[in-house]
Every structure is written in structure tokens, then in C-alpha cells.
């Protein structure tokens, strides 16, 4: 599956829910595809999207905004892997981690990550997080429906290829991006 098609499925499924978006091509493509104030574009902070998503989810438990979604890359997940244990401990009921796994550090030239030797789904389950794996858009749509209905944190490992869509750099002030997202949450929670 191409990341672009995965992002369309996510943006269609969660048009108003908070979405924390990992750095690099994922941010550029989603911003080009469907820029929206419910997206927090995390520029450069590799390894941190799941931790940010955990904080947002805990703050929004019981809110009408529903699930908090984290779009994370395999390289960035590997950098912040300890957050899986913290999520297992904190037990948010409303957090979905969608790992867009292309097997590489795509943004820096497709150097291979350790994704090929790590079973992210079993690792998540070992931390108390429900998990599944998908490799096409229909599978992803079903997994997102399943995750929406789950009463605990969910990790979806979505296998994508290394196709990158042409999309402009997003070089905006992270303070402004954060304030835009916080304002959206405050007005809609
Ligand atoms: C701490 C840190 N180290 C390195 C980088 C440079 N960097 C930016 S994106 C990226 C690759 C991220 O890989 P992945 O999460 O798999 O996403 P992909 O690019 O494959 O979509 C790297 C190494 C960074 N931003 N921060
Ligand atoms: Mg990657």
C-alpha cells in the first residue's frame, strides 16, 4: 500500500478526531492531502508522537472527540519504543497508534530500520496494547473500524511501500502549529 492511500483512509475515517502526525513525508503528504486544525504536525521531534498522543488521549478520555490517533513511522517508533510500556501502564481507552511501516528511514534516504526483525504487534501486546497488522487499504479500513470500537489502546502495523508523493515542505512555526491544534481541542472537546 502507498502511504498516500493509507492517509486518505485515515483522514476519511477520522475527520474531526485529534491526529498526531509524525515528521517527514507523513506530515508533508497529509498536509498536502487534507490540511486540518485537528492535525498536530510534529516537525522533527522523532520518537515523540506516541508520547504526545498518550498525553492528548489521557486529557480527552470521555470527550466527544472520541479516539486520538497517532500516525507514526517505523524509525520514529523504534526511537521512542519505551513509550509502548508507558501506554500499557497508563491504559488510555481512546488511543490508536497507526504505524506506517515502510521498513526504512524514508526521510533521510531509505536506510533500513530494524523493522524487519521486530514484531511490533507482539511487542505492543506484551505491553497490554491490542494490536493487528495490515498490508492493504481494505485491511486498514477494517482495522480502523476495529480500533474505533476497542475499549483500550490499539496499535496497527500498516505495511506501506517507499513511494513518496510530491508535496511541499511544511516549514511553519511549531509554536503556531501547536497553538492551532490546542485551540481546536479547546473549542471541540
Ligand atoms: C532525533 C532525530 N534524529 C534524526 C532525525 C532525522 N530524521 C528525520 S525523519 C527521519 C526518518 C524517520 O523514519 P520513519 O519514522 O520510519 O519515517 P519515514 O521517513 O520512513 O516516513 C530521520 C532519521 C530527526 N529528525 N531527529
Ligand atoms: Mg519508515
pLDDT digits (tens, 9 = 90+) for 2-14: 999 999 999 999 9
Q: What is the pLDDT at residue 189?
A: 94
Where does the pLDDT of residue 57 fall: very low under 50, low under 70, confident under 90, or very high at 90 and above?
Answer: very high
Q: Give the mean model confidence (pLDDT) for residues 110-120.
A: 98
Q: Give the mean model confidence (pLDDT) for residues 131-136.
A: 98
Q: Give the mean model confidence (pLDDT) for residues 68-97.
A: 98
Where does the pLDDT of residue 107 fall: very low under 50, low under 70, confident under 90, or very high at 90 and above?
Answer: very high
CB 98 within 8 Å of CB 73: no
Where does the pLDDT of residue 155 fall: very low under 50, low under 70, confident under 90, or very high at 90 and above?
Answer: very high
For residue 8 the three cell numbers come to 486518505
Residues linked to residue 154 through DSSP beta bridges, in sequence order = 96, 130
Q: Whose CA is nearest to atom 11 of ligand 1?
A: 105
For residue 155 the three cell numbers come to 496499535
Residues linked to residue 95 through DSSP beta bridges, in sequence order = 68
Where does the pLDDT of residue 117 fall: very low under 50, low under 70, confident under 90, or very high at 90 and above?
Answer: very high
Q: Whose CA is nearest to atom 26 of ligand 1?
A: 46
CA of 101 to the centre of ligand 2 (A): 5
Q: How would DSSP label each residue in 95-147?
A: EEEEEEE-SEEGGGT-EE-GGGG--HHHHHHHTT-EEEEE-SHHHHHHHHHHH
CATH for 3-188 is 3.40.50.970
Residues linked to residue 4 through DSSP beta bridges, in sequence order = none
Q: What is the pLDDT at residue 100?
A: 99
Q: What is the pLDDT at residue 166?
A: 96
Where does the pLDDT of residue 91 fall: very low under 50, low under 70, confident under 90, or very high at 90 and above?
Answer: very high
Query: Which numbered atom of ligand 1 lies nearest the CA of 76?
Result: 15
Q: Give the mean model confidence (pLDDT) for residues 98-117.
A: 98
The CB of 111 under 6 Å from ligand 1? The reply is no
Q: What is the pLDDT at residue 35?
A: 97
Residues linked to residue 159 through DSSP beta bridges, in sequence order = 101
Residue-averaged pLDDT of the chain: 98
The CB of 106 under 6 Å from ligand 1? The reply is yes
Which of 4, 23, 118 for a ligand 1 pocket mutation test, highest count of atoms within 8 Å of Cβ?
A: 23
Domain ranges of the chain: 3-188
CA of 16 to the centre of ligand 2 (A): 26
CA distance 141 to 136: 9
Amino acid at each position: 500500500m502507498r502511504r498516500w492511500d493509507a492517509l486518505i483512509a485515515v483522514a476519511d475515517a477520522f475527520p474531526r478526531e485529534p491526529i498526531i502526525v509524525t515528521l517527514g513525508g507523513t506530515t508533508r503528504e497529509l498536509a498536502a492531502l487534507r490540511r486540518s486544525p485537528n492535525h498536530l504536525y510534529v516537525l522533527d521531534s522523532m520518537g515523540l508522537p506516541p508520547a504526545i498522543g498518550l498525553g492528548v488521549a489521557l486529557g480527552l478520555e470521555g470527550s466527544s472527540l472520541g479516539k486520538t490517533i497517532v500516525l507514526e513511522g517505523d524509525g520514529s517508533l523504534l526511537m521512542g519504543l519505551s513509550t509502548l510500556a508507558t501506554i500499557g501502564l497508563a491504559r488510555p481507552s481512546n488511543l490508536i497508534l497507526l504505524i506506517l511501516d515502510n521498513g526504512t528511514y524514508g526521510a533521510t534516504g531509505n536506510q533500513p530500520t530494524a523493522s524487519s526483525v521486530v514484531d511490533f504487534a507482539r511487542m505492543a501486546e506484551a505491553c497490554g496494547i491490542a494490536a493487528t497488522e495490515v498490508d492493504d487499504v481494505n485491511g486498514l479500513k477494517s482495522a480502523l473500524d476495529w480500533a474505533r470500537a476497542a475499549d483500550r489502546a490499539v496499535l496497527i502495523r500498516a505495511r506501506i511501500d517507499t513511494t513518496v508523493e510530491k508535496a511541499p515542505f511544511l516549514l511553519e512555526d511549531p509554536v503556531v502549529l501547536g497553538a492551532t491544534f490546542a485551540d481546536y481541542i479547546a473549542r471541540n472537546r
